[in-house]
Chains A and B, each alone.
Chain A
Amino acid sequence: MTALAAIALLTLAAAAIALALRDLIHSALLLIASWVGIAAFYLWAGAEFVAFAQVLIYVGAISMVVLFAVLLTRPPTGPATREPSGRAVPGFLAGGAVLGLLAGAVLSSPLPAGTGAAPAFGVRELGLKLLGPHAGALLATAALLTVALLGAVVLAAARGKEDAS
């Protein structure tokens, strides 16, 4: 429980600071840190494969794309303009409301009481599941990834007339 608390605290702190910072690069890096924290949570929960996959995908791949996007879309001059603060208060209120609702739901719901022992679900079992009952979904995901890759390339590489620079 202490490990969980530490992980949760660090993750939430990283995410919270990331969302508050004005510097996009710092925000992104802190968010990446929070993703690492989530990976740590997975490791703590015994989902080793998912943890490493999380690091590989989020820290290795998505973070790169995010950083590239940040660099490519930096405003040409000067620091970022100030956030319009009109939305901040209602935003926090809404977020708080959602948090309250969720917490209430979690605390008031009868949750299944598992054994608590680390489940015997290793990489081999995962592989058998993926290629057995979920083979169709795996193929669909592969197709989705391919399409997404192509779509992303097309979207990002399309050069309109207005792009004179």
Chain B
Amino acid sequence: MNRGIAYYIIGRFLQSVLVLWIIVTLLFLLFRLAPGDPIANYIDVNFTREQELNLRARFGLDKPLHEQYVVYLVNLAKLDLGETFSYAGRSVLDILAEDLPNTIYLTMSSLLLAYSVGVLGGIAMAALRGSLIERVGTTFTLMTRAAPQFWVGMLLLTLFAFQWRLLPSSGIGPALVRYRWETEWDKLLSPVFWRHMILPTFTLAIYLHGLPLLLMRSNMLEVLDQDFIVMGRLTGYSESRLMIQHAARNALLPVLTALTLGIGYSIGGNVVIENVFSWPGLGRTLVEAVQESDYPLAQGAFFFIAFIIVFLNFIADILYSLLDPRVGASAQARLS
């Protein structure tokens, strides 16, 4: 790794920190300046004024805004996201740490499925360009991208869970099984968990496969027109070798970046599906927290998701610069 890339990574890192700081500040302002009292819903109707003041003090809401901001930043830096309103005595981090793995399992399995299908499909579509199969295939893919995810989820739910009763409709497993899962490994090794994951995973994958497929297809078409592929043809390499080893490899780079970015966006975008399937993940917690006006939790969940997105955007950039030797240098080459 040359110095150019190292410098690039440091620059990108600082940039990510800057972006995160701005997001965090916006988040702070959003939650503090929004209409409505952050603890309104939490204040019991029987509260005396004193009790209310006390509660405000407990959540640091009695201080002037700028002091609150400093405290907030310091706490965030310590990864202290505060205490929830609605979960007694539990820290936001605690709740989110419990949700995060579930969200990650769902995201990763659906992305894995979607991207394997998408990449292979994209290569196939590029190879079959102009054919009827390609036209039907891409139109179908466009349809899946146009259909609301939750609606697809609803239809799958109706058919597979309610009509045919083949698959469980919600959650990650019955409590009687779950309470024996002491570690994440127990959960991951349990077939029950995987059975519960099938419907939400497929629902997400149906939507997600479109991007890699279309991207792969257009990248392939673009790469296939490039001079080094012509060169490959001139050198007498076979079409299939050119397609897979040369074109696909080059076309794959943007797809990989899209995947890395996709992880972040999926974690943010799974909100709807997690709610349809009552999947105990970050998204469901976020929606519940917003509905319950549990401000610290909503803010924490939002921050968590934003953090993951910014982090993965950073990783995507780095990955791209490592995978594509041109990028690191392009920061320098941009000079002339």
- The answer to whether A and B assemble together is no
B residues lining the A interface (CB < 8 Å)? none
